[in-house]
Structure 1
């Protein structure tokens, strides 16, 4: 059972307002008070001023999201932490996370479970040594023990590889250029020969360009994300072997294909029940550009190649 949509929406709006106000205060303090003390005066330079603001909002927003990634994830489901595992499934998950994190040389992530029929697992957190792994009841019911271990190894791989921070850095960089380019082009379009700016036109053009550039930037971020999924699969193969990971992916793929289409009676309200495992069946060239995870066939093929190489 998910948290109510209204509660999640209000929480998201409040969080974004808090982020905006915080970044606005920090940005003004940097540009008008802190940087001038170091001989860096951006107050009179429009391009430099715009780029500074773009960096504040681009990287600031990305890192604030990363900083609060754990509480945000916990707000999506009614989760409970596994501190002293009691059931066989809790013991399996807890011991696997502890073992794999020790082998990976990272601090053991927090372990959380939540009740959802959709098989799912995800890892998040601001750093390799401050992370969490969450598992749904549907995942441990669908998969056998070896397959559960493989999925957990995949999630530990994301943490050990530092995927959260590298993705955040890339997202911050993309955000910065989206904001900067959109703002500068909008300023050129909305300014007359006397240097006066039509602010309505400026904000209209900037908003449209941010959407367009944001779509292009997301392609780069999604490409990076797909590469990290292959890396996490390789990590899982090294930790527990390729076979259980392949088996887990096939079961998850079969589960997805067995779901009724959204327009069919009895279809779940959520369009993407595997919201973090991302088991995709789409193979169109355009749709693949906007996938955070590679197609299931490509992941299985890569794992089978590793198995043949004995890795």
Structure 2
């Protein structure tokens, strides 16, 4: 489960570049068609924002596997060199076949904390990786459940769905950022011409970042929802009891500082989430372990 952090990081970077592109095309080359007599042309702006927004999320999607490998130092198991590596490859192969997806790449990354992730731009070109800490602290049954959970993310197409949601969110962010930018340009900077002034461009780019942060609560809600779905798949492919045992095995890790790269924490199976409601919890990538276990306990035993 180490996907969303890098995805969002890449997306923000692309959105900033998109904002600069807006400035260059509109201000320097006079392109874009979003300004005309009377100011903003809302129809043209909406279409252009959707295009830019989807570009950002699609680039994030296609780069996700490469960035995950680089940031975690994942070593792909090309040829198993020991019994553990052979078991990992065989288990992932069995689970992938059970859900009808292509065989993912399988890898291990050096991290003392138990973690795992799956990523990739489509179901038949995925990567499943586990940390050295997970292999050292969990039983074979628990590791099997974690792998099944990650295969669940792949089989459910979570990354593609995330990309589509993020693309739509990007479009709304850029759209309203430019409406606010136009308002500030006219009211605060007293720009009375039909062409946008510097106030429009500066405000728009600042609002891209601020509104993007607030809108990420929507993406985080989907992230929490997908964890329940992946847990269900883990229970189906391994067993409900194995999945519950795996989540319980994460409790000691929840109390320790996370050693994952900052941009990857949203993907970690151990996420250190707090209990109860708070504004910060709106931006949680994972439900709490208690919430996930409670949901699993409602499933029939298998």
TM range (shorter): 0.7 to 0.9
Q: CA deviation at 1:135?
A: 1.1
RMSD: 3.2
Provide the C-alpha distance between the structure 1 equivalents of 2:113 and 2:266, rounded to a whole number of angstroms: 7
1:78 and 2:73 are equivalent in the alignment: yes
From 266, 269, 275, the equivalent of 1:277 is 269
Distance 2:55 2:265 in 1: 30
Shift of 1:165: 0.2
Structure 2 CA distance for partners of 1:278 and 1:187, relative to 1, 3 Å: farther
Alignment of 1:102-141 (within 5 A): 102-141=97-136
TM-score (norm 1): 0.79
Aligned partner of 2:55 among 60, 66, 69: 60
* TM superposition shift of 1:20: 4.0
Q: Deviation per CA, 1:178-217: give whole Å up to 9, x if none.
A: 0011112211331357335563322333234323322331
- The 10-residue stretch of structure 1 (149-158 or 176-185) with the greater mean CA deviation from structure 2: 176-185
Task: Please name the residue that 1:157 is paired with.
Answer: 152
TM-score where L is the length of structure 2: 0.81
Q: Secondary structure at the match of 2:126?
A: strand
- Which structure has more relative contact order (CA 8 Å, sep 6+)? It is 2
Matches within 5 A, 1:264-303: 276-286=268-278, 287-303=280-296
Does the residue aligned with 1:123 lie in a helix, a strand or coil? strand
125 and 269 in structure 1: CA distance in 2 versus 1, 3 angstrom threshold: closer
Counterpart secondary structure, 2:241? helix
Q: Does 1:51 align with 2:43?
A: no
The CA distance in 2 between the partners of 1:229 and 1:75, in whole Å, is 24
Q: Distance in 2 between matches of 1:289 and 1:42?
A: 34
Q: CA deviation at 1:18?
A: 12
Pairwise mapping of residues 178-189 of structure 1 onto structure 2 (< 5 A)? 178-189=173-184
Contact kept? 1:278, 1:292, Cα under 8 Å: no
Per-residue CA deviation, residues 249-294 of structure 1 (Å, 9 max, x unaligned), is: 111122222x2x69xxxxx696787852143340141222111110
Contact 2:181 2:203 in 1 (8 A): yes
State the partner residue of 1:213: 211
Query: Does 1:145 pair with 2:140?
Result: yes
- Indicate if the aligned counterparts of 1:118 and 1:273 stay in contact, CA closer than 8 A: no
CA contact 1:187–1:197 (8 Å) conserved in 2: no
* Aligned residue in 2 for 1:199: 197
1:2-22 Cα offsets, whole Å, 9 max, x none, are xxxxxx9xxx99x9579948x
Please list every run of 5 or more consecutive structure 2 residues that lacks an aligned counterpart in the other structure. Answer: 1-5
Partner secondary structure for residue 126 of structure 1: coil
CA contact (8 A) 1:80 1:114 kept: yes
Report what 2:3 is aligned to.
none
